[in-house]
């Protein structure tokens, strides 16, 4: 997987030719270039320097972190059916000839400032433009605005488990923000951590219904790289806990493979979550297909049965909706796997 992404981004995967003249500038202070860089654009020499957004054009993501000790990390993901589509590769860098040289098994990448931009190249035919901020255009841009999309568009976009902590990229703030969002059914938390004391503060800006809130808490990174947190509102004596392993597993439990091969398992997990106290098993789940991508499903727990209608939106990250009219309480139950995997 690592080599797929490296090759796709840094080699001429289309056609190669001579690269147009560009203005290079030597790097004198490499410490200015330490930290995180995102691969935002790729330029192929045969296309008159036209820029292609890496996320939209290649459906890929690459984050590079340069460390002061000469090490470097690259986090890469690729639109693939493989469950471990995100890879983190540890490499090294050094200053050579006024350029930062990143050494990979696939070949050396030379990073330089070109016309004021930070540019990586493997050869003269393909250039990658890096930036301090991630730039995503087209469909990829919507990853941060999924709530604004139609369900049919959401299902087209592959998504990584947001609760997984990658120690190489050191992102506890992002993970803790996701945890708080799942626990409180809200998004948009701003988190700051004190790594020395293992504590954090969080702020939620509020909305048209609720006032802003501030939280304080502590966190611990386990030996198997999960983050566990305890938190409370800053004005309250009472708090709550959240275990990273639980959220990671919950996301995976409610995520359907692109080929729908685990559809019965995911719908059964949904039924167990919806019907508290019941223990349905996938091997007893009965699916009756109707028209395309919809039908009926029956869940069985010993002598208890409950039926739902279902509808599937296929894609890279399929969505399934379970619907059932509850005559006792006179309302219609409607649940999606997307909803359930983003909440505790």
CATH, range 2-138: 2.40.128.280
Number of H helices, E strands in the chain: 7, 20
Residue 3: per-residue pLDDT: 38
DSSP 255: P
pLDDT at 297: 97
Q: Which sequence spans correspond to the domains of the chain?
A: 2-138, 172-247, 254-341
Print burial letters for 23-45: b (CB count within 10 Å at least 16), e (below 16). eeeebeebeebeebbbbbbbbbb
Residue tagged 């708080």 (tokens): 180
pTM of the model as a whole: 0.60
> What is the reported pLDDT for 23?
45
H helix runs in the chain, sequence order? 2-10, 54-57, 151-154, 172-184, 244-253, 263-274, 337-341
Burial 262-284 (b: 16+ CB within 10 A, else e): bbbbbbbbbbbbbbeeeebeeee
The DSSP annotation for 265-287 comes to HHHHHHHHHHSTT----GGG-EE
Are the beta carbons of 306 and 284 closer than 8 angstroms? no
N-terminal to C-terminal alpha carbon distance within the chain: 32
| Strand ranges across the sheet with 294-301 | 286-289, 294-301, 304-313, 319-326, 331-336
pLDDT at position 120 is 84
Report the distance separating Cα 200 and Cα 191, nearest Å: 7
Q: What is the pLDDT of residues 180-227, one digit of tens each?
A: 999 988 888 999 999 999 999 999 999 888 899 999 999 999 998 899
pLDDT tens-digit profile, the chain (344 residues): 333 444 444 443 332 323 333 445 567 788 888 988 888 888 876 555 677 777 766 667 788 889 988 888 888 776 433 434 557 788 888 988 888 888 877 677 888 887 778 888 766 667 888 888 877 765 544 455 667 678 888 888 778 888 988 877 677 998 999 999 999 888 889 999 999 999 999 999 998 888 999 999 999 999 988 999 999 999 998 999 999 999 999 999 999 998 999 999 999 999 999 998 999 999 999 999 998 899 999 999 999 999 999 999 998 899 999 999 988 878 899 999 999 998 87
| Contact (Cβ atoms closer than 8 angstroms) between residue 289 and residue 269 | no
Return the SS3 of 86.
strand
């Amino acid at each position: 997987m690592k080599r797929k992404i490296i090759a796709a981004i840094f080699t001429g995967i289309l056609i190669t030719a001579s690269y147009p003249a560009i203005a290079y500038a030597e790097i004198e202070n490499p410490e200015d270039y330490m930290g995180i860089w995102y691969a935002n654009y790729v330029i192929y020499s045969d296309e008159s320097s036209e820029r292609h957004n890496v996320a939209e054009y290649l459906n890929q993501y690459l984050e590079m972190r340069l460390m002061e000790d000469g090490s470097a990390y690259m986090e890469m993901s690729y639109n693939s059916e493989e469950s471990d589509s995100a890879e983190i590769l540890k490499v090294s860098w050094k200053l050579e000839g006024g350029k930062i040289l990143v050494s990979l098994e696939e070949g050396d990448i030379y990073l330089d400032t070109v016309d004021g931009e930070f540019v990586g190249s493997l050869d003269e035919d393909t250039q990658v433009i890096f930036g301090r901020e991630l730039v995503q255009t087209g469909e990829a841009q919507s990853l941060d605005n999924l709530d604004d999309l139609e369900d049919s568009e959401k299902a087209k976009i592959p998504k990584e488990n947001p609760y997984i902590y990658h120690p190489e990229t050191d992102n506890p703030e992002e993970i803790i923000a996701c945890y708080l969002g799942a626990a409180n059914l809200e998004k948009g938390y701003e988190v700051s951590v004190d790594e020395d004391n293992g504590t954090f503060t969080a702020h939620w800006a509020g909305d048209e219904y609720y006032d802003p809130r501030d939280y304080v808490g502590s966190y611990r990174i386990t030996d198997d790289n999960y983050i566990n947190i305890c938190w409370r509102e800053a004005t309250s004596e009472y708090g709550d806990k959240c275990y990273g392993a639980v959220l990671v597993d919950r996301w995976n439990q409610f995520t359907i493979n692109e080929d729908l091969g685990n559809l019965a398992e995911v719908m059964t997990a949904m039924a167990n979550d919806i019907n508290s106290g019941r223990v349905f098993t996938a091997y007893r789940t009965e699916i009756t297909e109707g028209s395309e991508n919809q039908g009926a499903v029956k869940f069985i727990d010993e002598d208890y049965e409950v039926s739902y209608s279902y509808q599937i939106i296929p894609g890279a990250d399929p969505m399934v909706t379970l619907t059932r009219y509850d005559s006792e309480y006179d309302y219609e139950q409607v649940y999606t796997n997307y909803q359930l995997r983003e909440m505790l």
